[in-house]
Structure 1
Amino acid sequence: MTSEDRLELVRLISRWLASMHDEDLVYGDLSWKNIAFTTSPEVRVSIFDFDSTRLIGARSFTGQQAVHTIDWEDPAVSEGPPTLDSDRFRFALLAFRLLVSGDLNASIDPNAVARGLQGLHDTDIHRLSRLWRRACGPSGTRPTLVEWCVALGVSDC
């Protein structure tokens, strides 16, 4: 998978998750287990496993307790249902793992961003580095998906 394909995949997921959040929906379980994609003839993505999805502040549509994928837990949330903020953390983690580290189990390291990103201008890399730094912060301070879209060059988010 090329760096351009990885960047496009992250852009597609950011656009999708931003649209969920625009409708006051929390996805709740963003991880590699719930994403299928192809790069040929173009990058396309399918998201599945919506059993943790909920309106903000409501129970999941299935009524089940949220199940959190190992190595995708939000360190700021020890228990309770998924939130917009936990979706934001998981997106940041997915983007970091896909664009920077190449390690599907890596933790976010904002200092590694400058070394790992390809296909973006220095200004974008600096902006993304700041977003990853904020994503590691406390709940309520994490970047929105619209902020990620802007930094990733997604125009219709």
Structure 2
Amino acid sequence: MNEIQLSDLSLGRHIAEGSQGRIIELADHPGTVAKLYRTRELGLVDGRALAELVRIRGFIESEGLLVDHFAAWPHTVVLDGLRTAGFLMQRVHEPFLAGFGPTTSLAELGLLVDAGDVASPGVYERVLLMRALAAVMDALHRQGLVLGDLSPRNIAWSVSPVPRVMLLDCDGIRPAGEDGVLPPADTRGWEDPSNVGCPPTADSDRFKLALTIARVLTGDRNAAPGIRPDLTFAGQAGILVGPLTRLMDQAAGPPGLRPTASQWATVLDVRTPWAGAAPGMPPQMPPPLPPAMRSRGASPSGEILRPFRRQSR
């Protein structure tokens, strides 16, 4: 198992801070960053669950792409003695960055809902971004995993060279029905109302996917499946109105009857741009990723890993 002691890391500058911890670059490995949990979170961290995410990363793929192409997935557990302190993951670089004057930041999903200081993609690119998100969620569900907190802060996006997404905060992902690294959390306003206060499920993921699609395609942060979002696109984009409206109505129904991520991906799979859209983009594989930083030796932690159950939907 990939483990490394905190004392063996050459920590550089702080890149970001969140409610759970800090993101710090490694001075001697610029392609890798560490997420170190805050002191108040350390007592809640399930080290075995994090070790399991690290162990299964080689099994995770979507549409033939390895996990590092669409998720900042943990690849090494960081230990402070015998206690789990955080993890290492790839650093998210271009093209998932947006310019804000002299600085750059992650192009988070919120930029597609709230007007920001970056050029907003058109309907065609938004449709393909949501198709990419649905395909990634479908891949996770097919492998028995649930995404959990789907919100504008934990998904980055790019339209270069093709519309695609990058999952952030992947330590929130967990095998369905099992404990996660930390207690489950929901972003206010982006939760499944039928699952508030309960562990995430594939069904709650499906509702959040529909919610995200509604808000990204309309640019309305209050859009939701249950209030019939305005999907009356102009021009040839109108071919999507009927199928999307039917899926939205279904997503507003009771748990167990919501559209799967695969159904969304199929409806959103637009092969040819319509009139007025950006020029067609030929299929293009993302550039190869640098190898992940390897562990610098085994730890005496003796943590026992749960088996990874590859489940079908």
Q: C-alpha offsets along residues 75-126 of structure 1, whole Å, 9 cap, x if unaligned? A: 1113210000110001001101111x2113433333622x24765453x421
> Identity across aligned pairs (percent)?
37
User: 8 Å contact 2:233–2:241 — kept in the other structure?
Assistant: no
Query: CA offset at residue 40 of structure 1?
Result: 3.4
TM-score normalised by the chain length of structure 1: 0.86
Q: Are 2:224 and 1:107 aligned?
A: yes
User: 8 Å contact 1:29–1:69 — kept in the other structure?
Assistant: yes
Q: C-alpha offsets along residues 20-64 of structure 1, whole Å, 9 cap, x if unaligned? A: 00101001011110011122343232111123211111111x1x1
TM-score normalised by the chain length of structure 2: 0.45
Instruction: Write the mapping of 1:23-102 to structure 2, written as runs, cut at 5 A.
Output: 23-60=143-180, 62=181, 64-99=182-217, 101-102=218-219
Distance 1:66 1:16, change over 3 A: same
For residues 267 and 234 of structure 2, what CA distance do their matches in structure 1 show? 13
Coordinate RMSD, CA, aligned:
2.0
The amino acid of 1:125's aligned partner reads: V
**Higher helix proportion (structure 1 or 2):** 1
User: In terms of mean alpha carbon deviation, does 25-34 or 45-54 score higher?
Assistant: 45-54
Distance 1:48 1:111, change over 3 A: closer
2:280 paired residue number: none
Aligned to 1:15, what secondary structure does the other structure show?
helix
Structure number with higher relative contact order (C-alpha < 8 Å, ≥ 6 residues apart): 1
User: 8 Å contact 1:74–1:86 — kept in the other structure?
Assistant: yes
**Higher strand proportion (structure 1 or 2):** 2
Distance 1:70 1:119, change over 3 A: farther
* Runs (5+) with no aligned partner, structure 2: 1-120, 272-313
* Runs (5+) with no aligned partner, structure 1: none
For residues 111 and 36 of structure 1, what CA distance do their matches in structure 2 show? 23
Q: In terms of Rg, which structure is larger?
A: 2
For residues 5 and 77 of structure 1, what CA distance do their matches in structure 2 show? 31
Q: Are 2:139 and 1:19 aligned?
A: yes
For residues 117 and 10 of structure 1, what CA distance do their matches in structure 2 show? 18
Task: Give 2:242's match in structure 1, choosing from 126, 147, 156.
Answer: 126
Aligned residues: 150
Structure 1 stretches of at least 4 aligned residues deviating more than 6 Å after TM superposition: none
For residues 23 and 84 of structure 1, what CA distance do their matches in structure 2 show? 11
Q: Are 2:246 and 1:139 aligned?
A: no
The amino acid of 1:82's aligned partner reads: P
